[in-house]
Every structure is written in C-alpha cells, then in structure tokens.
Amino acid sequence: MKRLIRVVMLVLMSCFCAGGANVALADAASDAANGPVVVVVHLDIVRPQVSQALPIMRGYLATTRQEHGIRNVELLLQVGTDNHFTVVETWDDRAAYDAHNASQAIRDYRTRIFPFLASPYDDRIHTEISAS
C-alpha cells in the first residue's frame, strides 16, 4: 500500500513539475486518435485443434483484407510453438477499426474461433504517438 501511495505521489508530482508536458501529451493523444490504429490479437489455440483453426484464421485474414480502411493484416506464429498466433492489423484510423469491429464478419469469426481458444481472446489497440 505504501508503494502504491509513493507511485501515485510521484505521478502527481511529475504532472505538476512537467509544466507543459501534460499539454503535449494531450496533443499527442488527440493526433493519435486521428491517425493509424494497430490492433494486435494474441490467439492461443488448443494444440490438437490447430489444423482446424488455421483455415478459420486464414479466412478472417482474407475477409479483413477486403474491408475499407485496412492497410495491412498479417498472421504470425510465435517461434518455438505450434499454437501461439498473433494477428497484426493496421487500420487507417479508429473509425475504420470500429466499423470492422462492429461488422457481422468479425462476430462470425469470433464465434467460429472461440471453441479452439486455449485462453481468452486478447486484442490490444495501439495508436502511433509522435516522438517529437
């Protein structure tokens, strides 16, 4: 508990001491909301069912590549495993990703892939923040 209080205090102090830094972060967050969105999805498939899940994942890639606003989508396999996959999607902006995420195609995909998952569906949304 003391450690948590120290961390909160350090964060608050850094906000007060940084002056305009919090404004710069707000500007960066605003710019990121209008820029490209990268979604990383981690899929752990039950080992004996990888051969059944692969066509579903490949079908998802093919469907997603046809959607408006998609820049790129790739399926990766973690080195040293045969059942840990990562899907990396790059979208023009958050609106394009949100439209995709609300589509019937994504609902169908998640329904079809769900029985093969060895862990919860894990998707993480990232935006680019300028380093300058």
What are the tens digits of pLDDT across the range 69-115? 999 999 999 999 999 999 999 999 999 999 999 999 999 999 999 99
32 pLDDT above the threshold of 70: no
29 pLDDT above the threshold of 70: no
Q: What are the chain's domains?
A: 1-34 (no CATH), 35-127 (3.30.70.100)
Residue in 101, 75, 79 with CA at minimum distance from that of residue 88:
75
C-alpha torsion sign, points 21, 25, 27, 31: positive
Q: What is the pTM of this model?
A: 0.73
Q: For residues 43 and 87, is the Cβ–Cβ distance under 8 A?
A: yes
